Amino acid sequence: MAGRIPQGFIDELTARADIVELIGSRVELKKAGREYRACCPFHNEKTPSFWVSPQKQFYHCFGCGAHGTALGFLMEYDKLSFPEAIEELAGRLGLDVPREASAQTDQSGSTQPLYDMNLKVARHFASVLGGDARAKEYAKKRGLTRDTVEKFMIGFAANSWNDVLKRFGSTDADRKVLFDCGLVIERERSDSRTLERFYDRFRDRLMFPIRDSRGRVLAFGGRIIDQGEPKYLNSPETLLFHKGRELYGMYEVRQSRTTLKRLLVVEGYMDVARLHQAGVTYAVATLGTATTPEHLRRIFKLVNEVVFCFDGDKAGRAAAWRALGNALPEAREGRQIRFLFLPEGHDPDSLVGEEGREAFEKRLDGALPLSEYLATALGEQVNLAHADGRAQFAELARPLVSKVAPGVYRDLLIDRLSESIKLPTARLNQLWFNEATDAAGSHSPSASPDPARAGGQARLNRPRDGGGNKGLVTKAVKHLVHFPGIATRITGAQLTQLEMTDDPGSRFLFELIDQLQQEPAANTAVLLTRWRERPEGVRMTALASEELAAGIDEAGAALEVASAISTLSLEPTLRRHQELLDKGELTEDERAELRELTIAMARSKGAGNSSGTGPAGR
């Protein structure tokens, strides 16, 4: 059986494709300015309204609305399935389509060279750390003992563009393996097959090999040791590495002899290393993503208890909220899912260093159960003193509770939530699950006749509380679709602000930019192909067909996005500010809050015009 085609390959293929050449081989194209034009192959016409953009690698017909990427064209015109379209496009470019490693290919050895290379490079990084005074000093400053460095095989990537490349990439075949491991990056538009074609991905970073449960090195995470962006950098998705599946530290957890009762999920490799060092040998970390359902399935294969640990700041709370959303489908009787929020200004690394294992574990014991966290977090979003607020609470809770499988656990959860809104459990159950059968259907995009109208568009467009976010989010997304490269110009501080809002559109924008920063997309087509299976992808593809304002270039688009973000980030502040103003009589605390909000608003107005220059505080 053929395995899944890795996303990294699909990205690369789409980036390399030439849509003009592809469509030109089937339809007669005429150059018109920067684009190409033809009579549409999908509908009957005499005057050409079918356009192909080499820059966006995208086609669009103004007559019938047909549009898409090179892969999309092959699917529509040649009537191919997605994998068949990939095979066809790869064949044209003379590439073999890789398939994800299954247990069989593992043993047949086709991925063995990648494992071998990763191990060699991990050992090399470890030896560089041993010989580099500055890196050693940094590891020491972060409180890592020699034992921990050895246990986690921590190393250092030299501040060089080709240290790894020169050492391990002397032949074409070796360079191919380095590239497939994600250790080197290919320069754009280089036909040369020499060393010059590639450069090292990891430079001047403390390196953490990411190992599978058998101890094989799958990938790397690197933390910058001085100033620089991004602070954390992971290997891209490869044949071996799928970050939505792997948890950093799982191998080391399994190596420790203690009986495993629970797992602690934290956010960084440094946290994992320091926690293990302090004796909390059941800590793992996600790798630059929110906890995925796949992570949770892996966790619950091993233990029945998981504690998610987050920073107590707003970014931490936003991350916790996302983890909660993914944890709900896995919640059931017999399983404990809890949330721990650390005091502000602390991460697990600093806290366990300061107070030691016992005190830290006391915190874990007192972590909030999922039901409590859900009730508290929802309660903070509304005013439970009024009927309106309680109704809003029920509205917010419904889609979340529907993610939990029916059963004892869900009943108990509904029990707990009904307490918050002072409504009998039976009534809430009836409201949510008897009358509201439509809610379940709308979760599955394939069940909906028109996905653009269902989940995707709703999420992109629907403003909460009647705010004017609809246009802003759509506008920002549109600019990103046209110029995916501008995502890297959004600073960490801007992104964090966006992540803190509770508007679904802003959340989506956050997810989009976050993904593009971690895995940049070479052009519009790469981005659209990545999102092809998500409901939002349909809307994004439609936005790719729309024109931007005349004459707008990449820099202009970046400014548009930055300004949309500052307005969107400010929205909750404005709403709360207005709420307090409307209230009239204010308590001491509320007056203080009002003052803070006013200051925050003034500050945002000042920062709104200077996009891209602020410090990245993520």
Contact positions with Zn ion (CB under 5 A) in 143-182: none
| Helix axes 387-401 and 408-421, enclosed angle (nearest 10) | 170
Does 63 sit near Zn ion (CB under 5 A)?
A: yes
Instruction: Pick the closer one to Zn ion by CB: 65 or 356.
Output: 65
Instruction: Pick the closer one to Zn ion by CB: 40 or 495.
Output: 40
Tracing tokens 């895995």 back to the chain, one arrives at 519
In the complex, minimum distance from the CB of residue 60 to Zn ion, in angstroms, rounded to a whole number: 9
Of 2, 32, 64, 549, the residue at the interface with Zn ion (CB under 5 A) is 64
Interface segment toward Zn ion; rule CB under 5 A; list 24-32, 42-50, 99-107, 465-473: 42-50
Instruction: Pick the closer one to Zn ion by CB: 68 or 182.
Output: 68
389 exposure class (CB count in 10 Å sphere: 0-12, 13-18, 19+): middle
Asked whether the beta carbons of 339 and 312 are under 8 A apart, the reply is no
Interface segment toward Zn ion; rule CB under 5 A; list 60-68, 81-89, 171-179, 366-374: 60-68
In the complex, minimum distance from the CB of residue 42 to Zn ion, in angstroms, rounded to a whole number: 5
In the complex, minimum distance from the CB of residue 63 to Zn ion, in angstroms, rounded to a whole number: 4
Q: Cα 257 to the chain's mean position, in Å?
A: 33
Distance CA 378, CA 420 (A): 9
| Helix axes 370-381 and 387-401, enclosed angle (nearest 10) | 140
In the complex, minimum distance from the CB of residue 537 to Zn ion, in angstroms, rounded to a whole number: 21
Asked whether the beta carbons of 417 and 379 are under 8 A apart, the reply is no
Q: Among 432, 370, 423, 444, which Cα is nearest to 395's?
A: 432
Contact positions with Zn ion (CB under 5 A) in 322-341: none
Does 61 sit near Zn ion (CB under 5 A)?
A: yes
In the complex, minimum distance from the CB of residue 384 to Zn ion, in angstroms, rounded to a whole number: 54
Tracing tokens 């194209």 back to the chain, one arrives at 29
In the complex, minimum distance from the CB of residue 196 to Zn ion, in angstroms, rounded to a whole number: 44
Interface segment toward Zn ion; rule CB under 5 A; list 25-33, 56-64, 419-427, 583-591: 56-64
3-state secondary structure 496-546: HHHHHCCCHHHHHHHHHHHHHHHCCCCCHHHHHHHCCCCHHHHHHHHHHHC
Does 40 sit near Zn ion (CB under 5 A)?
A: yes
Interface segment toward Zn ion; rule CB under 5 A; list 55-63, 76-84, 176-184, 294-302: 55-63
Instruction: Pick the closer one to Zn ion by CB: 371 or 545.
Output: 545
Instruction: Pick the closer one to Zn ion by CB: 13 or 27.
Output: 27
- State which H helix or E strand residue 336 sits in: strand 336-341
Does 549 sit near Zn ion (CB under 5 A)?
A: no
Instruction: Pick the closer one to Zn ion by CB: 497 or 545.
Output: 545
Query: Helix, strand or coil for residue 35?
Result: strand
Distance CA 514, CA 536 (A): 15
Asked whether the beta carbons of 100 and 3 are under 8 A apart, the reply is yes
In the complex, minimum distance from the CB of residue 45 to Zn ion, in angstroms, rounded to a whole number: 7
Does 42 sit near Zn ion (CB under 5 A)?
A: yes
Does 43 sit near Zn ion (CB under 5 A)?
A: yes
Residues found near Zn ion in the complex (CB under 5 A): 40, 42-43, 61, 63-64, 66
